[in-house]
Amino acid sequence: MPRPAQTFPDIQSFIHLLEQRGELLRVREPVSRDLEITEISDRLVKKGGPAVLFENVVGSDYPVVMGLLGTRERMALALGVGDLDELARKIRALIDLGGGGSKLGLLSNLPKLRDAMNLPPRHVKTAPAQEVVWRGDEVDLSKIPVLKCWPGDGGPFVTFPLVITKDPETGERNMGMYRMQVMSKNTTGMHWQRHKTGTRHLEKAKRLGQKLEVAVAIGGDPALIYAATAPIPPVPGLDEFAVAGYLRGQRYPVVRGLTVNLDVPANAEFVLEGYVDPAEDWVVEGPFGDHTGFYTLPDLYPLFHVTCVTMRRNPVYPATIVGRPPMEDAYLIEASERLFLPAAQLIIPEIVDYHMPPAGVAHNLVVVSIKKDFPGQAYKVANGLLGLGQMMFAKVIVVVDENVKVNDMDAVWREVTQKAVPGRDTLTTRGPIDVLDHSSRGWGYGSKLIIDATTKRPEEIGSPKSSREEQAQDYALDVFFPDPVAPTPLQGGLGGDELPHFEGILAQRQTADGYWVVVLDKTRPGQARALAEAFARHPAADGVRHLLICDEQTDVNDMGDVWWTVLNNIDPERDVWNLDGLLAWDGARKLASEGFVRDWPNKLVMSEAVRRRVDALWHVWGLPEQYR
């Protein structure tokens, strides 16, 4: 597919194009920013529906747009490519500044060098983002249609903020996307997590005894919104404005803030200017319905003081909703996969491809395919990945052969049952964990599981043979289990009535490819372990490789829901057990009586009252029936 010629100077031009393409709906009837907008948007994104512009938001003069990046195709369109795989090809071409030393070869690099010239931002003196200004007592964040997304949220949250700070010592600029809970007419929380650059800037400001200036842009162009989420490596001169400039094929326009010494996007819809005072006590922020699909529980975070708001004359407020996958953030994650694949291959050259599936909500699951040449290479690659930037947060890494499509999860999990013997081909280790992970043994610290689902060399299965080239024909006979993989001769696996019973089981089934899924209402300590040990000894476990124990809200017939639950709810070293060749995963909720010392959060579920109200008003809002 050819690359689209059009780039987008701002969000509103992107909205206009989506509408021309039939990929944007307008809702002109009144709609509430309190749960209604997010319930509508959640339904649309989960069914691959269009973006939606809410023109009449109750209590605000400004429209809200949702789902701009809510499909793979719209994400590619936003970044100026025909397909997200083009991002990898583009970056690979930039990295490969070859030429062989000849004049003709060097001249072939000129187009790449022109692309690189788009990295530095371009300063302008006037900007649409500063057409209207609120200062002092004029600042009132309640006038901006900030959304309450889930029933248990602690308040309204800005969900697409581009938070800009500068290192107080070096002047290095950073932009990140950190949710912001509105606390008052002129303050918000600032969700700077332990490992984020904004946190380091604040810590330096504290040591220097000064306030940290902050600017928050809302809007810009789609490439900048993406760039704020990208795991950019710490390369001098490479920041989010540079990435956006490279992607859009032209230097990004910035303007100096009116009350802060920070560059802000000239094409933003809104800009909030102010400061965070490191001498102030932190405030309670949350709960928040997070990208994990669970609530993040209340915690202490810094307070952002908004001293000035600038905006366009007729701004649009862009927002997103996160929660149970698939959601819009899945396509932002996929764009990062494609963009940073060449860099990962530069460091770990045997990588063929990798994927972070929606069920893994970014960090919980990484699938990587490799060109394997020697025994132990799967562990070499997995440990290498754990040392690459934000990949350090990965919880489960599955390594497969080069011919396996990493985004075909059915194929991946079949490879796991066929080529990974529990214990022999699984390995746990420890390291940093995303601070939003609710199941880890400690805040930001836990364990990881590596599964080697590659074709085995003789040394990896305990064979006396060697994998030298002349013996390559021999080891291929030893890669599979001597016993059958299929759990039962019944096509499609066994259902609950044909399987053994145990205390607390609400539903269960076996799949034809070796997985036994159990939904458990856990009420006492050790219940999941006792179930796993009993089932491991039962004849129904013959041929089963994995026992997946889920919480009581899991759909046993939806493997995406099963894996999403299990991956969220485990600390692998504590909760994944090898029971004589059966790998049991305890993905049920953890109890205080089991020694789990933190509160356990709830899964995100919209209130029934809101669901009924949205159902009743669906046609009033003019929304298509197929997305209801």
pLDDT, tens digit, 9 for 90 and up, residues 394-420:
999 999 999 999 999 999 999 999 999
Has residue 215 got a pLDDT over 70? yes
Taking residues 555-559, what's their average pLDDT? 95
Side-chain-side CA neighbours of residue 621 (13 Å): 27
Strand 173-176, strand 317-319: pairing: unpaired
Confidence of residue 470 (pLDDT cuts 50, 70, 90): very low
pLDDT, tens digit, 9 for 90 and up, residues 416-468:
999 999 999 999 999 999 989 999 998 889 999 999 999 999 889 887 777 66
Q: Is 376 left (phi over 0), alpha (psi -120 to 50) or beta?
A: left
Q: What is the reported pLDDT for 102?
A: 45
Pick from 101-115, 120-134, 299-313: least confident: 101-115
DSSP states of 370-430: E---STTHHHHHHHHHTTSGGGGG-SEEEEEETTS-TT-HHHHHHHHHHH--TTTSEEEEE
Tokens linked to 389: 């930037």
Q: Which domains does the chain have, with CATH numbers?
A: 11-319 (2.30.110.10), 329-478 (3.40.1670.10), 496-594 (3.40.1670.10)
**Measured on CA atoms in the order 531, 536, 537, 543, is the torsion positive or negative?**
positive
Q: Write out the H or E segment, with its range, that includes residue 64.
A: strand 64-66
> Of residues 290, 425, 437, 586, which has the active-site annotation?
290
- % the chain with pLDDT above 70: 90
Tokens linked to 122: 């371009």
- What is the spatial distance between Cα 60 and Cα 64, in angstroms, rounded to a whole number? 10
Has residue 473 got a pLDDT over 70? no
Confidence of residue 6 (pLDDT cuts 50, 70, 90): low
Q: Which runs of consecutive H residues, i.e. helices, occur in 82-221?
A: 85-95, 103-107, 110-116, 197-208
Confidence of residue 198 (pLDDT cuts 50, 70, 90): confident
Q: What is the reported pLDDT for 581?
A: 92
- What is the spatial distance between Cα 156 and Cα 147, in angstroms, rounded to a whole number? 5
Better pLDDT: 248 or 111: 248
Q: Under a CB-based contact definition with an 8 Å cutoff, are residues 190 and 75 in contact?
A: no
Has residue 489 got a pLDDT over 90? no
Better pLDDT: 479 or 368: 368
Burial of 458 (0-12, 13-18, 19+ CB in 10 A): buried
pLDDT, tens digit, 9 for 90 and up, residues 138-180:
999 999 999 999 999 999 999 999 999 999 999 999 999 999 9
Confidence of residue 611 (pLDDT cuts 50, 70, 90): very high
Confidence of residue 106 (pLDDT cuts 50, 70, 90): very low
- What is the spatial distance between Cα 121 and Cα 370, in angstroms, rounded to a whole number? 37
Whole-number Cα distances in Å, 553 to 25, 64, 110, 295, 577: 33, 32, 57, 15, 23
Has residue 37 got a pLDDT over 90? yes
Cα 164 to chain centroid distance, Å, stands at 21
- What is the spatial distance between Cα 39 and Cα 45, in angstroms, rounded to a whole number? 10
Pick from 74-78, 295-299, 460-464: least confident: 460-464
Q: Under a CB-based contact definition with an 8 Å cutoff, are residues 455 and 401 in contact?
A: yes
Burial of 17 (0-12, 13-18, 19+ CB in 10 A): middle
Has residue 96 got a pLDDT over 70? no
- What is the spatial distance between Cα 290 and Cα 178, in angstroms, rounded to a whole number? 12
Tokens linked to 1: 């597919």
Has residue 569 got a pLDDT over 90? yes
Q: Under a CB-based contact definition with an 8 Å cutoff, are residues 475 and 532 in contact?
A: no
Burial of 271 (0-12, 13-18, 19+ CB in 10 A): buried
Helix axes 559-568, 409-419, angle to 10 degrees: 70
Best CA proximity match to 13, nearest among 356, 439, 312, 368: 312
Q: What is the reported pLDDT for 495?
A: 66
Q: What is the reported pLDDT for 498?
A: 80
Tokens linked to 86: 């083009």
Q: Is 10 one of the catalytic residues? A: no
What is the side-by-side strand order in the sheet with 51-54? 24-27, 51-54, 64-66, 317-319
CA angle (43, 47, 51) in 5-degree steps: 70
pLDDT, tens digit, 9 for 90 and up, residues 186-197:
999 999 987 788
Average pLDDT, the chain: 90
Q: What is the reported pLDDT for 3?
A: 45
Q: What is the reported pLDDT for 95?
A: 66
User: What is the pTM assigned to this prediction?
Assistant: 0.90
Burial of 401 (0-12, 13-18, 19+ CB in 10 A): middle
Taking residues 267-288, what's their average pLDDT? 97
Q: What is the reported pLDDT for 147?
A: 98
